[in-house]
Amino acid sequence: MRENIQTAIEEALNSAPERKFIETIEFSFNLKDIDLKNPANRIQEEIRLPAGRGKPVKIAMFAGGEMATKARAAGIDIIDPATIEDLGGNRQQARKLANGVDFFLAEIPHMGTVGRFLGVVLGPRGKMPRPVPPTLDPAMVAAGLKDTAIVRSRDNLTFHSPMGSREQSLDDLTNNAMAIWTRVTGKLERGVGNIRSCYIKTSMGPSIKVEVIE
């Protein structure tokens, strides 16, 4: 499979014109013969990409006081917990925030408030914040997330995941794609037998089909 995936990545890169921004490379899956209405069959994986994501990720934290100071020093955007209720009352602003941030963190006391007022926006996007206990440096949490890709099917047979960026080498992208492929197929009841098709594409480029070998 590695050779087939690498061939598709190379074609996807060659088929897409250069853009004025760093494009993300995406790996998409289309499943078959599996009931995703059963939560036990759904894919929900956090995968550390061996070559990283190839571009900065944006991390924000609901925090105040000393924790906010630590997080800000680590390059994490701070969201004042006092604004959570107002954000929840402005659905457009909440959606803009959710779409503009890759990962959210929160001090443990604010988790309930975030869930109450922003859960309806963050939950469906798989972006509910990760709780950070007072003894943990948020910089350590952020460092791990910068190389992490989320693969989440919910109840959809078709889903996709970032696997790197156009700034990375073909070998790096292939290594990242193989990490995702191995994890996803390893979670499926019939492994590769549950894969109907796979595609590789840049953010705005054409989808290139991967030849799947059972």
**Secondary element (H or E) of residue 106:** strand 103-107
Whole-number pLDDT of residue 144: 87
Whole-number pLDDT of residue 92: 94
d(CA 187, CA 180): 11
- Sequence-distant (6+) residues with CB within 8 A of 96 are none
Packing angle, helices 138-145 and 65-73, rounded to 10: 40
The pLDDT of residue 202 is above 80:
yes
Mean pLDDT rounded to a whole number for the chain = 94
Residue in this structure with the two tokens 């078709």, named with its chain if needed: 158
What 8-state DSSP symbol labels residue 82? G
3-state secondary structure 30-68: EECCCCCCCHHHCCEEEEECCCCCCCCCCEEEECCHHHH
Packing angle, helices 2-15 and 170-187, rounded to 10: 130
Of the chain, the percentage scoring pLDDT greater than 90 comes to 89
More confident residue, 56 or 29: 29
Q: What pTM, to 2 d.p., does this model score?
A: 0.85
Read out DSSP for 125-184?
Answer: TT-PPEEE-TTS-HHHHHHHHTTEEEEE-TT-SEEEEEEEETTS-HHHHHHHHHHHHHHH
The pLDDT of residue 186 is above 80:
yes
If one counts every other C-beta atom within 10 angstroms of the C-beta of residue 211, the result is: 12
- Name the pLDDT band for 22 (thresholds 50, 70, 90): confident
- Name the pLDDT band for 21 (thresholds 50, 70, 90): confident
- pLDDT tens sequence across 161-182: 999 999 999 999 999 999 999 9
Whole-number pLDDT of residue 20: 84
CA separation, residue 25 to residues 78, 129, 170, 201 (Å): 28, 25, 11, 6
What 8-state DSSP symbol labels residue 121? H
The pLDDT of residue 214 is above 80:
no
In order of their start, the domains of the chain are 2-54+148-210 (3.30.190.20), 59-145 (3.40.50.790)
Whole-number pLDDT of residue 3: 96
Contact 130, 111 (CB under 8 A): no
- pLDDT tens sequence across 95-146: 999 999 999 999 999 999 999 999 999 998 889 999 999 999 999 999 989 9
